[in-house]
Amino acid sequence: MSGRKTAMLTLGAIIVSTGISSNIAQAATTSAPARPQARTRVVSATVGQYLQKGYEQMRKGNYEAAVRILAAAVTADPDSVSARRYLAFALLRHGSLQEAMYQLIIIQKMAKATPFDNYTLGEAYSKMGRLNDAENCFREALKTNPNYDPARASLIKTLSSVGKYDDAFAECLTGYKAAKTDLLSRYYRILYQNVQEQKLSLRRIQEATSAAGAATGATGTTTTVQSPQQTPAQTQSRTVGETR
């Protein structure tokens, strides 16, 4: 595997570790609404266990198992924003876009969106081809947390996909300057190279298309239709007929 692919895959682990708190039990407790204290402890402990198990499955990349576990967490406590948040992320990674969007919409009604929520929503929009909406979500995530690298990385890819290369380059440089680890610095360099390659590839396609169009136009202007030439025999035959 190339160094570039290795760095790209490693960032996937960074996205999970930075987007989802490893302190699952605390997140579950703080997100639960007021309820009788004894029941709160039981529900929080149950949900916390589910979230911890789901988190571990996501770190392994086993999103199918994570979806099952986190769905059980939501069933145990439908009011847990954390449970729905992690379930939405797992559904997204599993490719269940509509289900992920459903959870994200519910979260928006339950609590103020976090950078992670906006990032996850942006990823869902991106996979659905709604790139303008995806861009807005990633920018919203960065507005709240300018150092949220997963959102910036996805924003760069989105900007490059819609041809906003200058904006993509600017985001690469911003992320590179703010990178706190060598891995992130390397990743932003790779993203910068990818944007350059995509821009160059588009330019080559445009030049090839333009050249092909020019060649077709030139051929069309030089093509003429000539009237048929009479042979000596045809001329002689017509002359004989005219003299009769």
pLDDT per position as a tens digit, 151-198: 999 999 999 999 999 999 999 999 999 999 898 999 999 999 999 999
User: For residue 9, what pLDDT is reported?
Assistant: 54
Q: What is the pTM of this model?
A: 0.72
Q: What is the average pLDDT across 74-99?
A: 94
Contact between residue 151 and residue 142 where contact means Cβ atoms under 8 Å apart? yes
User: For residue 22, what pLDDT is reported?
Assistant: 40
User: Whose CA is closest to 101, among 114, 93, 92?
Assistant: 92
Q: What is the 3-state secondary structure (H, E, C) of 64-133?
A: HHHHHHHHHHHHHCCCCHHHHHHHHHHHHHHCCHHHHHHHHHHHHHHCCCCHHHHHHHHHHHHHCCCHHH
Residue with the larger pLDDT of the pair 49 and 38: 49
User: Whose CA is closest to 157, among 117, 114, 127, 181?
Assistant: 127
Q: Which of 46-50, 156-160, 198-202, 208-212 has the highest mean pLDDT?
A: 156-160
> What band does 19 get if pLDDT is binned at 50, 70 and 90?
low
On the question of pLDDT at 106 being above 90, the answer is yes
What letter represents residue 53's amino acid? K
Domains contained in the chain, CATH given:
16-111 (1.25.40), 134-201 (1.25.40)
Q: What is the average pLDDT across 94-109?
A: 94
CA max distance for the chain:
126
Q: What is the average pLDDT across 6-20?
A: 54
Q: What is the average pLDDT across 218-234?
A: 49
User: For residue 72, what pLDDT is reported?
Assistant: 96
Residue with the larger pLDDT of the pair 227 and 102: 102
